[in-house]
Amino acid sequence: MPDPGFWTLQALNALQLSMLLFLLSIGLTVIFGLMHFVNLAHGSLYAVGAYVAASAAAVGGYWAGFFLAPVAVAGLGILLYSGLIRRMRRSGPMAQVLVTFGLIFALLDLSRLIWGDLALSIELPALLAGRTALLGIEYPTYRLFIIGLGLAIIAALAFVLGRTQIGAMIRAGVDNDAMAACLGINVERLFFIVFCVGCALAGLAGAVAAPLLSVTPDMGLQILIPTLIVIVIGGLGSLKGAVAGSLIYGFVQTFGAVLAPQLASVLIYALLAAVLVIKPVGLFPAKG
């Protein structure tokens, strides 16, 4: 049996994967909770973020990409919102599935046209390269950085959603947007802000993932299903759900790979099915 260090290492791996998924799923789940909009193209925005980061990093180093990618993807989000999504709001989920499916197709090929088919990657700055001694093991500093970044964003979002006026407005909107509008909240502007922040977080997730994984045109499609699983297990629209879903996914995936490699790829789907049978709306839905 491997030593305790092995399990610490795996726990950190699981946590790191969870945090990456959290960055993606929080945007998707709040957009869905607030706007009832199924944005299947969320994964494609993440891929665009990774590509923008890779291009920017090639010129101005890692941090240029890290800061530019969320801004660029938020910009793309503004375009999508004003061009497509605002008009789609009342079209019902089926039309939304179709339009975001169309976006997946279009963004996939646009990335291929701009950045080619070859895998890209980003070199890490000296500060984040290398390893850090922690809990008796050596762990890659960059993975610790991802864990730290994820925790910081959870804390920041918990603060904004729980303690600020805009957070209260968002919660009111998730609960009942018509009622919120009656209370004088500019729901339309709220939607816009939330959508842009969600896109920026997807871009950030792309920029953060790029040095770890390879940047390929299909990375958006690859991450889509895990992200959807996270938000459905957690329950739609809630921060708590996104955190719980990410942690469950990260730990099941990581420890499944170690303890039951034969079942690794089936395990998470079995869990999803089990959760939905027992709690048909996920563990912590925003609305009972």
Partner 1 sequence: MNRKTLAALGLAIGLAMPAAAEEITVGLMLPFSGVYAALGNDIEAGFALGLETFGDRTDATFTIIREDTEASPPVALGKARKLIMQDRADVLTGIVSSAVLGAVRDIVHSSGVPLIVANAGNDEATGEACSPFITRMSFSNGQVNRPMGRWMAEQGIGKVFTLAPDYAAGRQMIGAFADSFTEAGGEIVGQAFTPFGKTQDFGPYLAEARASGADAVYVFYAGGEAVSFVRQYDSFGMKDALPLYGSGFLTSALYVDAQGEAAQDVVTALHYVPTIDNPENDAFVAAFREKTGRVPSEYAVHGYDAARALVEASATGAADRAALADALRQVSFEGPRGALSIDPATNNIVQPIYVYRTIAGETGMTQEVLAQTPAEADPVNGCDMAPLIN
Partner 2 sequence: MFRHTPLRYGTLALLAALALFKAVTADYFGLEILTEILILAILVIALDMVAGFGGMVSLCHGALMGVGAFAYALLTVKAGLTPPLALAAAIGITGGAAWIIGAICARSHGIYFIMATLAFGQMAYSYVFQTPTFGGDDGLGGIARLDLTAFGIDLNDSRTFALFCLAALAASYCAIVGILRSGLGRSLTGIMHNEQRMRALGLTVWRVKADVFGLSGMIAGLAGALAAQHMMFISPGLLSWKVSGEALVVVILGGLGTLVGPIVGAAAFVLLKHEVSALTSYWHLVVGVILIAVVMSRANGIFGWIETRWTARKATRRTGPADAPLKEARTDA
The residue ranges that bind partner 1 (CB under 8 A) are 2-3, 6, 9-10, 13, 16-17, 112, 116-121, 123, 129-131, 138, 140, 142-143, 211-219, 222-223, 253-255, 257-258, 261, 264-265
Taking the complex as a whole, the smallest distance from the CB of residue 255 to partner 2 amounts, in Å, to: 17
Nearest to partner 2 of 205, 229 (CB atom):
229
88 binds partner 2 (CB under 8 A): yes
Nearest to partner 2 of 204, 233 (CB atom):
233
Among 216, 223, 282, 284, which residue interacts with partner 2 (rule: CB under 8 A)?
282
Q: How far is CA 36 from CA 137, 188, 234, in A?
A: 44, 13, 16
> CB under 5 to 8 A by kind: which of partner 2, partner 1, none does 120 bind?
partner 1
d(CA 198, CA 196): 5
Nearest to partner 1 of 77, 245 (CB atom):
245
The encoded tokens of residue 139 equal 């762990």
Taking the complex as a whole, the smallest distance from the CB of residue 288 to partner 1 amounts, in Å, to: 34
At residue 273, what is the residue type? Answer: A
Taking the complex as a whole, the smallest distance from the CB of residue 13 to partner 1 amounts, in Å, to: 4
Nearest to partner 2 of 3, 109 (CB atom):
109
Among 1, 2, 262, 288, which residue interacts with partner 2 (rule: CB under 8 A)?
262
Q: How far is CA 18 from the centre of its chain?
A: 10
Residues of this chain that bind partner 2 (CB under 8 A): 32, 38, 84, 87-88, 90-95, 97-99, 101-110, 112-113, 225, 228-229, 232, 236, 262, 265-266, 269-270, 272-273, 276-277, 280-282
